[in-house]
Amino acid sequence: MKTIVLYTTRHGSTEVIAKNIASKLNADVCNIQKKPIPNLREYEAIIIGAPIYLGSINPKMTALIEKNTSTLLTKKLGLFLVCLMDEELAADQFNAAYGNELLSHSTADGFFGGKMPENMLNPIEKIITHVAFRHKPIHEDILTTEVEKFIEIFKA
């Protein structure tokens, strides 16, 4: 099945996950911030993954989803989110990012935790994250078993 993984990233953790999923599914992979978006009609299966920054995914990904919703709804679809917030907060962010229409169509969904290496953050990001995560349950690591489960469900 011809598959592509479309993703965005700022600090690289989503890229590692996207490339891992693509290699296990023998899929193409595209960072839509850096490369032109391929013709999605050529693919039978599409996986979309993005990190959350201040409650939202990258506007380029939101625009891609809005522009291609009708095409995406004809494909085998996988959706994943990379984010530090845990439990219900992660689920809320997931629903807000992808919306009910795509979520009810998707074959596999996952939120995979995240990474926030201090040395990669700029001074403003350090202040924002210090304030934003002070009282929230967060999961600062990639949930590799969730990634593996997502791949198995998608393959089935």
Ligand X SMILES: Cc1cc2nc3c(=O)[nH]c(=O)nc-3n(C[C@H](O)[C@H](O)[C@H](O)COP(=O)(O)O)c2cc1C
Q: Which span sits near ligand X by CB under 6 A: 11-19, 61-69, 102-110, 145-153?
A: 11-19
- Which position has the token pair 């479309």? 6
Contact 71, 40 (CB under 8 A): yes
Give the nearest residue (CB) to ligand X: 114
- Give backbone dihedrals phi and psi of 135, rounded to 5 degrees, phi first: -115, 20
Contact 86, 93 (CB under 8 A): no
Residues 90-149 that bind ligand X (CB under 6 A): 93, 114-116, 121, 125, 128-129, 132
Q: Which span sits near ligand X by CB under 6 A: 26-34, 52-60, 61-69, 146-154?
A: 52-60
Tokens representing residue 56 in the block: 């939202």
Of the residues 61, 64, 72, 85, which one makes contact with ligand X according to CB under 6 A: 85
Name the residue nearer to ligand X (CB basis): 75 or 113. 113
Of the residues 6, 51, 57, 77, which one makes contact with ligand X according to CB under 6 A: 51
Q: Which span sits near ligand X by CB under 6 A: 27-35, 49-57, 60-68, 146-154?
A: 49-57
Name the residue nearer to ligand X (CB basis): 53 or 76. 53
**In whole angstroms, how close is the CB of 137 to ligand X at the nearest point?**
10
Cβ neighbours, 10 Å, residue 122: 8
By CB under 6 A, the count of residues binding ligand X is 24
The binding site for ligand X (CB under 6 A) comprises 9-14, 51-55, 82-85, 93, 114-116, 121, 125, 128-129, 132
